[in-house]
Amino acid sequence: MEGDSPAGALLPADALRGLLGRPEVLVVDCRFELTRPAWGREAHAAGHVPGAVFAAMEHDLAAPRGPGTGRHPLPSPGDFARVLSGWGFTDGSHVVAYDQGNGAWAARLWWMLRSRGHRHVQVLDGGWAAWLAAGGAVSSEAPSPVPTPVQPRPWTGVMDSSEVEAALARGDILLVDARGADRFAGRNETIDPVAGHVPGAVSMPFAGNVGADQHWLSADALRARWQPVIEAAAGRPVVAMCGSGITACHNLLALELAGHRDTRLYAGSWSEWITDPARPIATGGQA
């Protein structure tokens, strides 16, 4: 399938125009703003790719926060299966996820589907902005998918805080943080109550995976960007984290596009790490 190759993880807007209307194509609108959680649904209602269903980041792609969890815990496999069922998803679906631009939110759905074993999933390169620029049609009609039977499947390639802490102590992983460099250094924390980073983590802001036009860098450029990290990993898994396990998926997609697939997601990320005051915290540059 097209989505099985690293290059196939992205889909240009022009290509999506040619796919609309095919019964196997499932377009998912993942638009979201952290400071305005209701904005994505409002934007979807105002206009979306024709036939696209809406994924609510904090309800469909995350579970409610609980004691000791990060801000966006993964939903249970059963809950996610029910979400997919409501979208009319099947094992034969060709899923195309998009958000407002750079893929920060769409990559979360890409990773979740890949984690449960679904290969044919792509992120729309440039997102909604690219769709409009390409002259894509806009619809405000609410889709009415027919629910389908979807079996729960366990998450794979995911680590929790205790596993990350133990693996770091053994030197078994390379942990990569997708937050901005200022948050990593502990200089500008406006989201979580504690500033800093996990000791031993490497700063790789996800925003560097795209250009100024919000389109993804070429595979060659991504390989060049990520090669120092891959070399530093020296055969160990690269584990991606961020503030809550969402933009970390952007780095995982970038690594896939760069041809590196020995990766994991630290799903709880920084917001989970800091729930235990006994866990160490570092500030400043690389630690």
Level-2 CATH architecture, domain 2-133 = 3-Layer(aba) Sandwich (3.40)
Is residue 241 within a helix (H) or strand (E), and if so which, with residue range? strand 238-241
Which residues, given as ranges, of the chain have pLDDT below 70? 1-7, 286-287
Q: Tell me which residues are annotated as active site.
A: 242
List where CATH 3.40.250.10 sits in the chain.
2-133, 158-273
Strand partners, 263: 238
For 135-182, what is each residue's pLDDT tens digit?
A: 999 999 999 999 999 999 999 999 999 999 999 999 999 999 999 999
Residue 152 identity: P
Contact 68/107 with Cβ under 8 angstroms?
no
Strand partners, 53: 28
32/179 Cα distance (integer angstroms)? 17
Alpha carbons within 13 A on the beta-carbon side of 273:
28
Joined together, the tokens standing for residue 151 give 């079996």
The structure tokens 């690293």 sit at: 6
Q: What is the dihedral of CA 212, 233, 120, 133, to 10 degrees?
A: 0
Level-2 CATH architecture, domain 158-273 = 3-Layer(aba) Sandwich (3.40)
132/46 Cα distance (integer angstroms)? 14
> What was the pLDDT predicted at 2?
34
What's the 3-state SS for 120-148? CEEEECCHHHHHHHCCCCCECCCCCCCCC
> What was the pLDDT predicted at 285?
79
Q: Which of 124, 94, 86 is nearest to 25 (CA)?
A: 94
Cβ count within 10 A of residue 258: 22
151/87 Cα distance (integer angstroms)? 14
143/45 Cα distance (integer angstroms)? 10
The structure tokens 């800091």 sit at: 274
For 25-60, what is each residue's pLDDT tens digit?
A: 999 999 999 999 999 999 999 999 999 999 999 999
